[in-house]
Amino acid sequence: MLQCIFLLSDSGEVMLEKQLTGQRVDRSICAWFWEHTISQGDFPKLQPVIASPTHYLFQILREGITFLACTQVEMPPLMAIEFLCRVADVLSDYLGGLNEDLIKDNFVIVYELLDEMIDNGFPLTTEPNILREMIAPPNIVNKMLSVVTGNSSNMSDTLPGATSSCIPWRTADPKYANNEVYVDLVEEMDAIVNRDGVLVKCEIYGEVQVNSHLSGVPDLTLSFANPSILDDVRFHPCVRFRPWESQQILSFVPPDGQFKLMSYRVRKLKSSPIYVKPQLTSDAGTCRVSVLVGIRNDPGKTIDSITVQFQLPPCILSADLTSNYGTVNILANKTCSWSIGRIPKDKAPAMSGTLVLETGLERLHVFPTFQVGFRIMGVALSGLQIDKLDLKNLPKPPYKGFRALTRAGEFEVRS
């Protein structure tokens, strides 16, 4: 049972507070959490569950906004984390994004959504389709009406029909002139390459995202050509578990609109699509840097949006870096960002330059880690392939579309 939810800005300011039970949680817990965060240093890698002297804290970070929940009683931690993720997804969907200004401009809607999503500390209504019928998303017309009438509530007067349905995630009896469904495989590659160029870790975190605009109550069956490669699968509540357990197929009645059907991991991949080879040599108070980037295994599709970033060590006074392709920028926080885009066919992108060490330091003793980014449209590097998508309970065959996208997640190259 959760007792309170806080939304914190990237500076630690409490933007929103929602007390969920009769036991009030003081805001001082947020100050303790922020001091603990600063002491840890690396916020994105902060543990999602933290034990404070008085409470158990659950936190996630989305677009610079920290969603923080508190409790003093034992409860399943994954339920709290999953609920916070669902709150973040719903707010992002309603507000068209997540940032401090959007939260502050839509206080009323955020509070109304939290009122419906959790009751006395327990998750209640978390399906976006039902919430949209209960609380109208913000728009200019609603804002003008609230100014004129003085009524700032977006709550509907009638209870959504799906609340009493056996498929509560689906809008009651939707109708479309053109029935269509799109399935996207969206994957992120996490990899670690050591200073010798050896691939220490390489795995894929993927999602099957579906955008469904189908009339009535359709029944869908999605099968893969090679489902045995999948690990750590998680499903949307609409998925029937028995067909997956026995035949490894996804049988479901989809929600209306866009949703995440499942997530998965593919472990122990043998190679990455690109290579980054950094070389740092230091002597006499300077450090020479050379970084080469190229294609290691051609995926058959264009690799674009390639970037290489690294944090300059604190002992660096100045840096002079140039590249033969792309642009190199050194930001105010001493982060070097090299934007390459696409790798040209006639030359391999290279960055080189000199780093000046602080006075009294002959050699560089702290070597940076390079963060690599890329995107590949039209291919899933895990090797996962969709076999077929069957639809039932529809008057005529709908349009079906399939796409794939792979991008870099936490792709690190050590020097």
User: For residue 213, what are the contacts with CB-CB under 8 A and spacing of at least 6?
Assistant: 176, 178, 179, 180, 181, 256, 257
Q: CA dihedral defined by 358, 360, 366, 372, rounded to 10 degrees?
A: 30
Q: CA dihedral defined by 10, 14, 16, 19, rounded to 10 degrees?
A: 130
Same fold, 4-149 and 180-269+381-414: no
Q: Which two tokens stand for residue 279?
A: 């070389």
Region 347-362 average pLDDT:
88
Confidence band, pLDDT 50/70/90 cuts, at residue 124: confident
> Does the pLDDT value for residue 34 go beyond 80?
yes
% of the chain exceeding 70 in pLDDT = 92
CATH code of the region 180-269+381-414: 2.60.40.1170
Mean of all residue pLDDT scores within the chain: 88
Output the pTM of the full model.
Answer: 0.78
> What is the topology classification, in CATH, of domain 274-377?
Immunoglobulin-like (2.60.40)
pLDDT for 45 equals 67
> Does the pLDDT value for residue 11 go beyond 80?
yes
Strand stretches in 3-143, DSSP E: 4-8, 14-19, 49-51, 56-62, 65-71, 118-119, 122-123
pLDDT for 407 equals 95
pLDDT for 292 equals 94
CB atoms within 10 A of CB 64: 13
Domain boundaries, the chain: 4-149, 180-269+381-414, 274-377
> Does the pLDDT value for residue 146 go beyond 90?
no
CA nearest to 249, candidates 260, 262, 237, 259 = 262
Confidence band, pLDDT 50/70/90 cuts, at residue 171: confident
> Does the pLDDT value for residue 152 go beyond 60?
no
pLDDT digits (tens, 9 = 90+) for 365-390: 888 999 999 999 999 999 999 999 99
% of the chain exceeding 90 in pLDDT = 54
Region 240-259 average pLDDT:
92
Q: Which residue has the tokens 């934007």?
A: 339
Report whether CATH 3.30.230.10 matches the domain 4-149. Answer: no
Region 117-122 average pLDDT:
90
pLDDT digits (tens, 9 = 90+) for 298-346: 888 999 999 999 998 888 888 899 999 999 998 888 899 999 999 988 8
pLDDT for 340 equals 95
> Does the pLDDT value for residue 186 go beyond 90?
yes
